Amino acid sequence: MASTTSRGFPPIAAPDARLLILGSLPGQVSLAQRQYYAQPHNAFWRIMGELFGAGLDVPYDERAERLRLSGVALWDVCKAAVRPGSLDASIDLNSVITNDFKRFFRAHPGIVHVCANGGTAHRLYLRRVQPVLPEPTSSLPLHLLPSTSPAHASLRFAQKLQRWRLLEELLAA
């Protein structure tokens, strides 16, 4: 089966962002709708609703603005990659092109924490991004959070939300 390359989105980020949430690569529903985490069963926006008032009951552009106003930036590790379907396990690692994090961190010098939405984003950042970043950016704390994907069903929503509350603590510090 031939696969085409999926291309990610620009970051959602204000210049004064303090925390960066990283996904891996938008899934098929997100690509079709041109919105981060558009898959209706993904818990991301439900969690953002609990934490920052940026839930699914709010139009997408306003959700993005509420994240920016909260000091939260959102982006993906992959600028592009081949992935048939939407599962992170299907990403062809040999095809991954990472986003330009050197430029991103220069434009957002206030970021003091990076949070990975799931294991794939965490691994890709550790292997493909962090080693090429200059100090002190390469030493920013990296926090692994449970994936909000419906494919990550080992935790219930309340358990995921509890772990994601770390964002509130990091932003309050």
Structural domain tally of the chain?
1
**The pLDDT of residue 1:** 41
For residues 168 and 173, give the distance between their C-alpha atoms in angstroms, rounded to a whole number.
9
Active site residue 42: yes
Please pick, among 42, 94, 99, 117, the residue that the annotation labels catalytic: 42
- CATH assignment at residue 141: 3.40.470.10
Q: Enter the pTM of the model.
A: 0.92
Do the domain assignments include residue 10? no
Do the domain assignments include residue 153? yes
Whether omega for the bond prior to residue 136 falls within 30 degrees of 0, making it cis, is: yes
Out of 4-8, 39-43, 87-91, 162-166, which region has the weakest mean confidence (pLDDT)?
87-91
pLDDT in tens, 125-150: 999 999 999 999 999 999 999 999 88
- Other beta carbons within 10 angstroms of residue 54's beta carbon come to 25
Do the domain assignments include residue 1? no
**CA 77 to chain CA mean position, Å:** 8
Range of the domain at 166: 18-172
- pLDDT (mean) for 7-25: 95
